[in-house]
Amino acid sequence: MCKILLSIKPEYSSKILQGTKKYEYRRQIAKRTVDEILIYSTAPDMKVIGSVKVNSVIKGTPAELWEKTEKYSGICREKFFSYFQGKETAFAYKLGDVQTFNPPRNLTDYNIKTAPQSFVYL
């Protein structure tokens, strides 16, 4: 079992906790198989706000990925394709059960000093 902490913008992290965003898109993914993601909501939140199980990873061209995931993408088409501009391959973590941390946790609770640019293994 492998856990990672992902830095996610608040507009998207809140949608994951609400269950309206069921895919987390990435240009690169972890080399290890990820079972769970801890959600670090970036500024202004700057807290670990919850965790989510990973059901699977989807790989394809940006167009293929959008076609498969659009309904629960939690992002508009324009932002999606802007994010993957110039990339031939796109990835999505298909998200499962969500747990909200109340109260939210600090990075230091996980012995992490600074927020990762993308992700960090736990």
- HEC secondary structure over 59-71: EECHHHHHHHHHH
High-pLDDT (> 70) share of the chain, %: 100
Class of domain 3-121: mainly beta
The answer to whether residue 1 scores a pLDDT higher than 90 is: no
Q: What are the extents of the domains in the chain? A: 3-121
Contacts (Cβ under 8 Å, ≥6 apart) of 64: 90
Task: Write the pLDDT tens digit of every residue in 43-96.
Answer: 999 999 999 999 999 999 999 999 999 999 999 999 999 999 999 999 999 999
Please give the structure tokens belonging to residue 48: 């670990």
What is the maximum alpha-carbon separation in the chain?
40
Q: Are strands 90-105 and 23-26 parallel, antiparallel or unpaired?
A: antiparallel
The reported pLDDT for the residue numbered 56 is: 97
The reported pLDDT for the residue numbered 94 is: 98
High-pLDDT (> 90) share of the chain, %: 98
The reported pLDDT for the residue numbered 17 is: 97
Cα end-to-end span (Å), the chain: 10
- For the entire predicted model, the pTM comes to 0.93
Q: Are strands 47-60 and 36-41 parallel, antiparallel or unpaired?
A: antiparallel
Task: Write the pLDDT tens digit of every residue in 25-50.
Answer: 999 999 999 999 999 999 999 999 99
The reported pLDDT for the residue numbered 71 is: 96
